[in-house]
């Protein structure tokens, strides 16, 4: 039967060859060429709309399933407790004391006051504004990822099949494709920027470097299937300014660099990151700090100022929060970048959580796991708003300016504006806050004390 | 998928019976527990310490201590533990549940006593069943500033006056040589007899009817 097997093998080989050729052609035509040229066929948006329809269908199936079994679909709620509207310490204490039957007794007041603080304390343990920002946001509808499903009981057979298909598509088709693209993008970046470093002509080097950076970032964006909508592009950051933005994930950098060239600021790393950094700096002026220099704030400020003063250099990209927040709020901006005298261009980035959770919870998983998660989600959909440039006004200090910028970013992105420091993810709160409350309570008591003293004097 | 869910349901049912929370509330609280513990099985004091809103509270240490106090677990044990699991967390939270329409008067009385006991335990830090002058003074000092408005002397004076008042109400015929040991639980109850606690010391836990309400994050 030898004559039978050889043609089959030939056939198999030929099929495989054709398959690979077609695959590569599609890849190059639909992904690489648009990336290089900076055009878009709109395939990703079509993909996004299809996905949304599927998600809605999946959620409605689950609701039907829940109704059949006469149970309720668990929807993650905004809070555990109903908080009273915030009132001042004085008002609350008056209310508390008012209910005591014996009006004069001192000890009764003191002991009753404990209730107030006790209840407030337990309320903060149950629901506070900050701790929930450091874990992923919860979703209303199911997006066919087991990571974000709470209603495991209500999945019917049909849904399970669709989910299985989803897994196959995501891990079998999308993930390898994306990994290939990412590797290509980074590889091209390193190679081309190194080559460019050898060019003697500065002008040529500059313009070419811009094109290369943009191209490689576009490839990386396609590697993540990121569907980005830029708003108000007339406000894009210009040379000699600083661009500030809220920080959710390291991918923020790629998303912003997709649309313009920025100088990055960061610590010098080792390994692959270090190699990329060294390559990038050969063709355009990025600011990388040694670990030891980061602590020296004056040195940092000087380098930033020097860069900004040179109007031919690109705008600097800084994330003043200092850490990743889960994209429902904006936390305290560190004032360092606002002390430099130049124009600040605020940018707000908001991710759509229905397609994949972009937040990098660095205490839960490391960088590589995070990237794999990102590449095996459906897509990364986000909106970027360029806000009008801001300058520090007369009589405004760095902190006030930072807060003003933060409020603008929060308002645009629909995020909650918090005063708390993102560093609280890892550090504890200072005792100064507790002392403030103690002072306040003492003042209230002192008021009472005065009344009592007056009363005593009359005896 | 099915088997593990019913086991969790069973566990929640147990907890619901013991603590009086509803199923939905327990699920919400479990999520919060996970957030606080960083997805671990137990919470330690450091986890609670790191809540910024709690930092404002002058009696933060006592409140956190209350969670780790075995007396609040209603199992007749004393002492404190270093880590608490979800069940213990719920038991402490159950002290703050308000009575609902179906609670009988007896149950209300029992709940009131429980809440008083909780507060008593917070003052009585050495577990001996009485709040001595020193212990009470410590709590008053925590409430007040260590500097500025009211100095430590005044705090001491307030605490002393308070103890005197308690003594005079509870042991009216105490002679000059007798020494008032400390506030026992009965005296504590007596002092706070007039205070309407049901509305002062409860937190309204949301029990959402999820079939009619859409309670997700609406601004995203």
Domain boundaries, chain B: 2-101+201-212
Closest partner residue to B51 (CB to CB) among A128, A140, A430 is A128
Q: Does B22 touch chain A (CB under 8 A)?
A: no
Residue B210, pLDDT score: 37
Within a 10 A sphere around the Cβ of A262, how many other Cβ atoms? 20
End-to-end Cα separation, chain B, in angstroms: 30
Closest partner residue to B200 (CB to CB) among A102, A115, A121 is A115
Within a 10 A sphere around the Cβ of A391, how many other Cβ atoms? 11
Residue A151, pLDDT score: 55
Q: Does B38 touch chain A (CB under 8 A)?
A: yes
- Out of A11-20, A287-296, B37-46, B122-131, least confident range: A287-296
- Out of A222-236, A260-274, B136-150, least confident range: B136-150
Across the strands, what pairs with A289? A267
Number of residues that this document lists for chain B: 220
Contact A153 B201 (CB under 8 A): no
Write out the DSSP string of B40-102.
-S-EEHHHHHT-HHHHT-TTHHHHHHHHHBGGGGTSS--SB-SEE-HHHHHHHHGGGPPP-TT
Residue A74, pLDDT score: 53
What is the H or E stretch that residue B122 is in? helix B105-123
Identify whether the C-beta of residue A316 lies closer than 8 Å to the C-beta of residue A304.
yes
Contact B54 A124 (CB under 8 A): yes
| A215-243 pLDDT, tens digit each | 888 888 888 888 888 988 898 888 888 99
Residue B175, pLDDT score: 58
- pLDDT above 90 for A347: yes
- pLDDT above 90 for A334: no
Identify whether the C-beta of residue B26 lies closer than 8 Å to the C-beta of residue B16.
yes
- pLDDT above 50 for A451: no
What is the H or E stretch that residue A283 is in? helix A271-283
Contact A130 B53 (CB under 8 A): yes
Q: What percent of chain A has pLDDT over 90?
A: 4
Cα dist. B73→A22, A121, A398 in Å?
68, 19, 50
ipTM surpasses cut 0.85: no
pLDDT-derived band at A387 (thresholds 50, 70, 90) equals: very high
Contact A434 B60 (CB under 8 A): yes
What is the H or E stretch that residue B27 is in? helix B23-37
Q: Residue-wise over B41-50: b if at least 16 C-beta within 10 A, else e? A: eebebebbeb
pLDDT-derived band at A458 (thresholds 50, 70, 90) equals: very low
Mean pLDDT estimate for chain B: 73
- B23-37 helix and B86-93 helix, angle to the nearest 10 degrees: 120
| A319-330 pLDDT, tens digit each | 888 778 888 888
Closest Cα of chain A to B14: distance in Å?
19
Domain regions of chain A by residue span:
157-425
State the Cα–Cα distance between residues A391 and A325, nearest whole angstrom: 25
| A27-42 pLDDT, tens digit each | 777 777 877 777 777 7
Summarize chain A as % helix, strand, coil (round to 5): 60, 10, 35
Summarize chain B as % helix, strand, coil (round to 5): 60, 5, 35
What's this model's pTM, rounded to 2 decimal places? 0.65
CATH no. for B2-101+201-212: 1.10.238.10
Residue A344, SS3 per DSSP:
strand
Residue A347, SS3 per DSSP:
strand
Closest Cα of chain B to A231: distance in Å?
17
Residues in Cβ contact with A47 at an 8 Å cutoff, skipping those fewer than 6 apart: A225, A227, A379
Query: Which tops the pLDDT comparison, A220 or A354?
Result: A220
Query: Which tops the pLDDT comparison, A267 or A242?
Result: A242
């Amino acid at each position: 039967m030898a004559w039978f097997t050889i043609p089959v093998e030939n056939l198999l080989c030929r099929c495989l060859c054709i398959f690979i050729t077609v695959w590569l052609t599609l890849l190059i035509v639909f992904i690489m060429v648009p990336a290089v040229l900076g055009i878009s066929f709109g395939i990703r948006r079509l993909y996004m709309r299809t996905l949304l329809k599927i998600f809605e269908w999946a959620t409605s199936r689950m609701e039907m399933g829940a109704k059949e079994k006469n149970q309720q679909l668990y929807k993650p709620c905004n809070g555990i407790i109903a908080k009273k509207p915030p009132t001042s310490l004085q008002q609350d204490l008056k209310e508390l004391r008012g209910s005591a039957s014996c009006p004069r007794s001192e000890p009764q007041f003191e002991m009753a006051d404990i209730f107030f603080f006790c209840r407030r304390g337990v309320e903060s343990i149950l629901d506070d504004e900050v701790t929930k920002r450091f874990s992923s946001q919860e979703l209303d509808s199911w997006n066919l990822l087991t990571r974000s499903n709470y209603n495991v009981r209500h999945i019917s057979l049909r849904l399970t099949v669709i989910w299985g298909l989803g897994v196959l598509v995501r891990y079998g088709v999308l993930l390898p494709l994306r990994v290939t693209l990412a590797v290509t993008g980074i590889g091209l970046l390193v190679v081309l920027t190194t080559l460019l470093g050898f060019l003697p002509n500065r002008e040529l080097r500059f313009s070419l470097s811009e094109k290369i950076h943009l191209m490689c970032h576009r490839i990386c964006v396609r590697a993540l299937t990121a569907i980005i909508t830029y708003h108000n592009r007339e406000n894009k950051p210009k040379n000699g300014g600083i661009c500030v933005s809220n920080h959710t994930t390291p991918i923020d950098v790629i998303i912003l660099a997709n649309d313009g060239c920025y100088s990055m600021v960061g610590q010098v790393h080792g390994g692959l990151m270090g190699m990329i950094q060294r390559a990038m700096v050969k063709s355009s002026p990025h600011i990388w700090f040694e670990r030891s220099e980061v602590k020296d704030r004056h040195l940092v400020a000087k380098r930033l100022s020097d860069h900004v003063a040179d109007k031919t250099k690109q705008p600097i990209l800084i994330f003043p929060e200092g850490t990743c927040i889960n994209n429902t709020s904006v936390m305290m901006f560190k004032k360092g970048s606002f002390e430099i005298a130049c124009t600040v261009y605020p940018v707000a980035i908001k991710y759509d959580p229905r397609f994949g959770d972009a937040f990098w919870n660095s205490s839960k998983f490391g960088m590589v796991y995070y990237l794999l998660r990102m590449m095996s989600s459906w897509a990364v959909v986000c909106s970027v708003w360029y806000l009008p440039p801001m300058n520090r006004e007369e009589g405004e200090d760095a902190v006030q300016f930072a807060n003003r910028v933060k409020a603008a970013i929060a308002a645009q992105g629909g995020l909650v504006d918090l005063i708390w420091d993102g560093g609280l993810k890892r550090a504890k709160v200072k005792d100064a806050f507790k002392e403030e409350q103690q002072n306040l309570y003492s003042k209230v008591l002192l008021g009472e004390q005065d009344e009592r003293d007056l009363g005593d004097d009359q005896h | 998928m099915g088997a593990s869910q019913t086991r969790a349901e069973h566990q929640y049912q147990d907890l619901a019976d013991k603590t009086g929370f509803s199923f939905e509330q327990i699920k919400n609280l479990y999520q919060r527990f996970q957030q606080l513990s960083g997805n671990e099985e137990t919470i330690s004091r450091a986890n609670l310490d790191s809540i910024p809103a709690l930092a404002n509270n002058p009696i933060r240490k006592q409140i956190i201590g209350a969670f780790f106090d075995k007396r609040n677990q209603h199992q007749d044990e004393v002492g404190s533990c270093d880590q608490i699991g979800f069940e213990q967390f719920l038991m402490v939270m159950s002290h703050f549940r308000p009575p609902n329409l179906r609670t009988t008067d007896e149950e209300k009385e029992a709940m009131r006593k429980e809440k008083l006991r909780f507060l008593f335990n917070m003052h009585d830090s050495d577990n001996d069943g009485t709040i001595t002058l020193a212990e009470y003074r410590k709590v008053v000092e925590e409430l007040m500033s260590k500097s500025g408005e009211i100095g430590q002397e005044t705090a001491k004076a307030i605490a002393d006056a308070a103890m005197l008042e308690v003594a005079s109400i509870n042991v009216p015929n105490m002679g000059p040589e007798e020494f008032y040991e400390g506030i026992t639980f009965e005296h504590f109850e007596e002092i706070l007899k007039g205070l309407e606690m049901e509305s002062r010391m409860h937190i309204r836990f949301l029990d959402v009817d999820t079939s009619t309400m859409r309670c997700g994050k609406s601004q995203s």
